[in-house]
């Protein structure tokens, strides 16, 4: 009996052991901490939200199933140092998770401790994009990464077509790294940050004012403010004081402003006035029942706080509330996976035990990795909406509201999401649509900008820094109608100058500028070197820059920029566009060849000039050829093409050449012949018309001739070639066309052009001149013995050059287009460049003779038609010959020669005779077969009669 009792006791023991293994024990409470500044804009909301969430979790037995959250709050009092020390103090007290820290700066430091001791940090406000899970695996961001916020800002900038922005930010990890992310996002959209204005985290009003004064001196008027709410409102107040909230400015604030408005609303009238027209972002949280319930509870929750002011609910409060619930669900999973709360000493800290620091108290949380994994796998729906993590540990479905501050409130002008970009529809309604990387569907409602205007600001102005726009102008010595300096003054005149004055007067803003002469006044300056000064600011020693004394002293310093722009007769070339930005061309001008010309007088053989020798030769072949082909097709059926050989030869020649005048008398009977004649008459019509037109021009219009036909003639010769000094033509001829430098002769003045062309290569001159069409036309207006030969072999234009990415380029291009549309550009052209025509203006260069190239398609078509007609004809005739000539061959003659002789005889016969002979032969054959049948019948009857007689004789008595 005792034995049975012991057995039952042992069974009960082992059974109880088995139950304890299958159901892990849960502690009565788990310790968590939270570190943030209680009195900060974010902290005072987060404190209420976190405490409410802990209370809700502990009141809900379905979450932790008997385990309570033991929360300890630590106030950092706006101190990064205290934040670090408070976090370390939590790690000494066997805290298994920390909510916070609030600051990204503190998060960077504390994350090193968290990595070592394996204690998860869950921060709802540390949005620095560089807090990477690869570097800090135990840091979990439970709010949106600033990377998405900067993408939204960049999309807004790109949507309105702005290209440069100014960044005003707090100079710490949060500010610097956020602006670095913005710079990357802007670069991806071909935009950039043109100026950065960093501020200390606790900058006073004087420091803020000094920074904004520097901002006001820059060109861009698109200002992005990325700071803390406490500093941001001071920045806006200073901007209002400096007049930077007026029309023309654009202020884009990150979500610090929406957080301030949500938390401290309503703001004072003065503060509200300072932020009118600002665009800000607010984290988008979808509407849900749980969110509405929490918002309705908020007033009751905040009454418990004796702050003396009302506390509004910001999105950070929502995320702080969801962070506690995230941690609760993670603890539940942690315990389900048999996790337990235990700590072990860190062997790395034993080396530091000699000091007075109590480092032994800091121990490794053994279940840290399991708890971290449980946190990252939570998939819940909180007051912010769906709450889970992506593979890169960012929250799913990042989205923002785009808000415009108007009057005493705000107006929602759109949304941004990582999936659909900018839209006027809530992001949760677009998640089912495919992503829109092109941004073709981007849209926002109208915005009221600073200055109470709905007109989109241009985004930039000419900088108000007291500095004039320095414009380099070539000091030319030739073709002064285009650009020239007024002697004895610093003023300039000419066609290009007037175009610049007219264009700049159309700009909606004033541009202070100063024109500076470039060149020594003895030689035409290089346009390429002038453009290079805009980029590098280095004068070439062979040139002299007539600058102000200050700039002249800096003439050869590479870092100094000599010119901001260049205007004049500056051709737009590929090489120059790499150094500067050009406006819309105001002159179309390419390289042309100018050569001497001579009058061509008519002579006795002028009627041969319309066609070249090859064309006459081809015509001499094709006309008789067509006669021969038609003769072959018509010979057997048409009496006009029969007769003695002499007559037939004359008929072929007559028919061939009479078609030239449609005077042929012979009719064609065959279908192939008629088709061929129709085609040939069409070819003759084209040749006739072309000949008549060309001969008329030769006999009635004065002709000019030149031994140079174009750039091709120069490339094939070794004669010297002239070009304008300082022109890009020299580099083009050497680098692009491969002309040796020794053949090129620089010419300075129009008189030099004329002398070199008249002298020619034999007398030390040039065979031809290569220059831009605009110069060539001015030169030829007074020198009629020369002319442009060949075609324009490059396509260039003249434009004004500015620094790379200069905002003036677009506005000046628009102004030039307006001048072109309203006719002012043509009027300026006529004022400076309209010249009386020379006496040879009505003459024309000797045109190239009509060659076979112009007619080769017609002759090819005609030749193929002849071959096809002959092929069809001979196939048909050979078949007929075989059918009608099946007689046995005579033994004394070669079979092949006999058949060939018979074929030629057959070809020469009339087709009617051949058909008659064929019919006669058929009748003869039929008669012969009939006689043979009669003879066969008679013989048969005689044989029968003979047989009968024999039978009778044998049968006698």
Percentage above 90 pLDDT, the chain: 51
Lookup: tokens for 625:
């050829």
User: CA–CA separation, 218 vs 244, rounded Å?
Assistant: 12
| Greater model confidence, 240 or 557 | 240
What is the predicted pLDDT for the residue at 943? 59
What is the predicted pLDDT for the residue at 869? 83
**Domain edges within the chain:** 22-144+308-387, 146-286+398-429, 469-587
Query: What sign does the dihedral 205-210-216-218 (CA atoms) show?
Result: negative
What is the predicted pLDDT for the residue at 876? 79
What phi and psi values does residue 480 have, to the nearest 5 degrees? Answer: -75, -5
Task: Classify burial at 197, counting beta carbons within 10 Å of its beta carbon; exposed 0-12, middle 13-18, buried 19 or more.
Answer: buried
User: CA–CA separation, 734 vs 741, rounded Å?
Assistant: 6
- As beta bridge partners, residue 197 has 168
**Mean local confidence (pLDDT), 468-497:** 92
In the numeric block, the tokens 């004068």 are attached to 539
pLDDT tens digits for 615-645? 888 888 888 888 788 877 777 776 667 777 7
What is the predicted pLDDT for the residue at 22? 43
- As beta bridge partners, residue 449 has 453
For the residues of 46-58, what is the DSSP string, one character each? Answer: HHHHHHHHHHHHH
| Greater model confidence, 464 or 504 | 504
795 contacts 749 by C-beta, under 8 angstroms: no
Question: If pLDDT is split at 50, 70 and 90, which confidence band does 8 have?
Answer: very low
Question: If pLDDT is split at 50, 70 and 90, which confidence band does 263 have?
Answer: very high
- Range from 75-84, 130-139, 873-882 that averages highest in pLDDT: 130-139
User: CA–CA separation, 903 vs 881, rounded Å?
Assistant: 7
Lowest model confidence (mean pLDDT) among 288-297, 622-631, 938-947: 938-947
What is the predicted pLDDT for the residue at 938? 59
**Which DSSP state fits 509?**
S
Distance set, CA 239 to CA 39, 232, 260, 270, 275 (Å): 26, 11, 18, 13, 9
For the residues of 790-842, what is the DSSP string, one character each? Answer: S------EE--EE-TT-THHHHHHHHHHHHHHHTHHHHHHHHHH--PPPTTTT
**Which DSSP state fits 737?**
S
What is the predicted pLDDT for the residue at 554? 37
pLDDT tens digits for 574-585? 999 999 999 999
Q: What is the dihedral of CA 40, 42, 47, 48, to 10 degrees?
A: 120
**Mean local confidence (pLDDT), 69-80:** 91
What is the predicted pLDDT for the residue at 176? 96
pTM: 0.70
Query: Is residue 13's pLDDT more than 50?
Result: no
pLDDT tens digits for 669-688? 777 877 888 888 888 888 88
pLDDT tens digits for 81-115? 988 998 888 888 889 999 989 999 999 999 999 99
pLDDT tens digits for 370-412? 999 999 999 999 999 999 999 999 999 999 999 999 998 899 9
**Mean local confidence (pLDDT), 460-466:** 72
| Greater model confidence, 602 or 711 | 711
Query: Is residue 428's pLDDT more than 70?
Result: yes
Lookup: tokens for 417:
């999401």
**Mean local confidence (pLDDT), 523-548:** 64
Query: Is residue 544's pLDDT more than 50?
Result: no
568 contacts 772 by C-beta, under 8 angstroms: no
CA 48 to chain centre: 51
Same fold, 22-144+308-387 and 146-286+398-429: yes
**Mean local confidence (pLDDT), 128-145:** 95
Give the helix/strand (H/E) hosting 458.
none
CATH number attached to the domain at 469-587: 3.40.190
Question: If pLDDT is split at 50, 70 and 90, which confidence band does 841 have?
Answer: very low
Question: Which segments of 157-228 are extended strands (E)?
Answer: 164-170, 192-199, 222-226
Q: Cα angle vertex 190, ends 187, 196, to 5°?
A: 50
In the numeric block, the tokens 């207006």 are attached to 781
First to last CA, the chain: 158
**Mean local confidence (pLDDT), 490-519:** 92
What phi and psi values does residue 398 have, to the nearest 5 degrees? Answer: -70, 135
Give the closest residue to 501 by CA, choosing from 519, 481, 515: 515
Question: If pLDDT is split at 50, 70 and 90, which confidence band does 555 have?
Answer: very low
Question: If pLDDT is split at 50, 70 and 90, which confidence band does 548 have?
Answer: very low
In the numeric block, the tokens 């050829």 are attached to 625
What is the predicted pLDDT for the residue at 952? 42
**Mean local confidence (pLDDT), 463-484:** 86
pLDDT tens digits for 194-238? 999 999 988 999 999 999 999 998 889 999 999 999 899 999 999
Lowest model confidence (mean pLDDT) among 4-8, 161-165, 312-316: 4-8
Query: Is residue 9's pLDDT more than 80?
Result: no
Percentage above 70 pLDDT, the chain: 79
User: CA–CA separation, 94 vs 845, rounded Å?
Assistant: 101
What is the predicted pLDDT for the residue at 914? 62
User: CA–CA separation, 295 vs 314, rounded Å?
Assistant: 10
Lowest model confidence (mean pLDDT) among 305-309, 713-717, 832-836: 305-309
SS3 assignment, position 587: strand
CATH superfamily of 146-286+398-429: Response regulator (3.40.50.2300)
| Greater model confidence, 597 or 96 | 96
Query: Is residue 610's pLDDT more than 50?
Result: yes
Mean pLDDT over the full length of the chain: 83
Query: What sign does the dihedral 329-330-335-336 (CA atoms) show?
Result: positive
CATH superfamily of 22-144+308-387: Response regulator (3.40.50.2300)
């Amino acid at each position: 009996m005792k034995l049975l009792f012991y057995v039952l006791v042992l069974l009960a023991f082992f059974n109880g052991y088995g139950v304890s293994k299958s159901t892990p024990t849960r502690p009565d409470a788990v310790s968590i901490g939270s570190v943030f500044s209680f009195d900060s804009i974010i902290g005072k909301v987060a404190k209420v939200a976190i405490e409410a969430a802990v209370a809700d979790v502990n009141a809900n037995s379905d979450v932790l199933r008997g385990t309570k959250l033991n929360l300890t709050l630590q106030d950092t009092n706006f101190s990064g140092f205290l934040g670090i020390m408070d976090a370390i103090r939590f790690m000494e007290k066997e805290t298994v998770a920390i909510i916070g820290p609030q600051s990204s700066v503190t998060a960077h430091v504390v994350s090193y401790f968290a990595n070592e001791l394996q204690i998860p940090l869950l921060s709802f406000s540390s949005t620095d994009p560089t807090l990477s899970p690869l570097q800090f695996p135990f840091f979990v961001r439970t709010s949106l990464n600033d990377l998405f916020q900067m993408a939204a800002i960049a999309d807004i900038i790109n949507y309105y077509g702005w290209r440069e922005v100014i960044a005003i930010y707090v100079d710490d990890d949060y500010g610097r790294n956020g602006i670095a992310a913005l710079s990357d996002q802007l670069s991806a959209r071909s935009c950039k940050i043109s100026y950065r204005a960093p501020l200390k985290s606790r900058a006073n009003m004087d420091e803020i004012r000094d920074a904004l004064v520097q901002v006001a001196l820059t060109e861009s008027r698109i200002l992005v403010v990325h700071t803390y709410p406490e500093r941001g409102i001071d920045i806006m107040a200073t901007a209002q004081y400096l007049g930077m909230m007026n029309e023309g400015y654009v202020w884009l604030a990150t979500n610090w402003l929406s957080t301030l408005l949500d938390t401290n609303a309503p703001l004072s009238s003065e503060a509200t006035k300072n932020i009118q027209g600002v665009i800000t972002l607010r984290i988008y949280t979808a509407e849900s029942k749980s969110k509405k319930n929490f918002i309705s509870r908020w007033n009751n929750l905040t009454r418990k706080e004796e702050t003396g002011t009302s506390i509004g609910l910001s999105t950070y409060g929502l995320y702080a509330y969801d962070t506690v619930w995230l941690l609760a669900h993670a603890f539940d999973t942690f315990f389900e996976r048999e996790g337990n709360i235990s700590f072990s000493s860190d062997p790395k800290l034993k080396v530091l035990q000699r000091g007075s620091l109590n480092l032994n108290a800091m121990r490794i949380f053994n279940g840290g990795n399991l708890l971290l994994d449980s946190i990252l796998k939570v998939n819940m729906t909180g007051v912010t909406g769906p709450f889970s993590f992506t593979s890169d540990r960012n929250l799913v479905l990042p989205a923002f509201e785009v808000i415009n501050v108007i009057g005493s409130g705000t107006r929602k002008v759109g949304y941004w999401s990582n999936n659909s970009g900018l839209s006027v529809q809530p992001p949760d309604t677009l998640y089912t649509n495919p992503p829109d990387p092109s941004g073709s569907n981007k849209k926002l409602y109208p915005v009221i900008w600073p200055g109470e205007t709905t007109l989109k600001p241009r985004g930039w102005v000419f900088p108000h820094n007291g500095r004039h726009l320095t414009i380099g102008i070539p000091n030319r010595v030739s073709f002064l109608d285009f650009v020239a300096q007024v002697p004895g003054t610093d003023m300039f005149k000419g066609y290009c100058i007037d175009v610049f004055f007219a264009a700049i007067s159309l700009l909606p803003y004033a541009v202070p500028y100063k024109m500076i002469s470039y060149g020594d006044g003895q030689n035409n300056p290089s346009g390429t070197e002038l453009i290079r000064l805009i980029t590098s600011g280095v004068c070439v020693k062979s040139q002299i820059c007539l600058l102000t004394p200050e700039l002249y002293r800096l003439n050869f310093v590479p870092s100094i920029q000599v010119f901001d722009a260049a205007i004049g007769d500056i051709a737009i070339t590929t090489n120059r566009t790499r150094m500067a930005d050009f406006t819309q061309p105001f002159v179309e001008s390419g390289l042309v060849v100018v050569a001497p010309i001579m009058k061509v007088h008519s002579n006795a053989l002028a009627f041969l000039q319309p066609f070249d020798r090859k064309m006459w030769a081809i015509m001499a072949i094709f006309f008789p050829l067509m006669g021969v082909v038609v003769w072959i097709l018509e010979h057997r059926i048409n009496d006009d093409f029969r007769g003695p050989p002499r007559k037939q030869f004359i008929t072929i020649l007559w028919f061939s050449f009479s078609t030239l005048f449609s005077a042929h008398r012979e009719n064609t009977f065959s279908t192939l012949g008629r088709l061929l004649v129709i085609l040939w008459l069409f070819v003759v019509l084209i040749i006739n018309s072309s000949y008549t037109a060309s001969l008329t021009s030769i006999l009635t219009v004065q002709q000019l001739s030149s031994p140079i036909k174009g750039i091709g003639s120069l490339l094939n010769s070794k004669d010297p070639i002239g070009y304008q000094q300082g022109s890009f033509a020299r580099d083009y001829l050497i680098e692009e066309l491969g002309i040796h430098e020794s053949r090129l002769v620089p010419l300075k003045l129009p008189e030099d052009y004329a002398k070199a062309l008249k002298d020619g290569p034999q007398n030390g001159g040039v065979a031809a001149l290569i220059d831009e069409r605009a110069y060539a036309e001015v030169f030829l207006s007074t020198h009629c013995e020369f002319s442009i030969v060949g075609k324009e072999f490059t396509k260039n234009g003249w434009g004004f050059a500015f620094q790379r990415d200069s905002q003036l380029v677009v506005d000046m291009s628009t102004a030039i287009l307006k001048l072109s549309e309203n006719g002012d550009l043509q009027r300026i052209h006529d004022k400076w460049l309209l010249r009386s025509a020379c006496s040879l203006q009505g003459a024309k260069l000797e045109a190239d003779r009509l060659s076979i190239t112009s007619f080769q398609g017609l002759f090819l078509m005609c030749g193929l038609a002849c071959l096809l007609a002959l092929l069809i004809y001979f196939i048909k005739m050979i078949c007929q010959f075989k059918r009608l000539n099946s007689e046995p061959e005579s033994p004394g003659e070669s079979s092949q020669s006999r058949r060939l002789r018979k074929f030629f005889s057959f070809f020469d016969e009339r087709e009617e005779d051949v058909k008659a002979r064929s019919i006669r032969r058929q009748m003869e054959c039929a008669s012969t077969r009939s006689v043979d049948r009669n003879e066969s019948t008679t013989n048969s009857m005689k044989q029968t009669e003979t047989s009968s007689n024999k039978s009778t004789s044998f049968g006698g008595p």
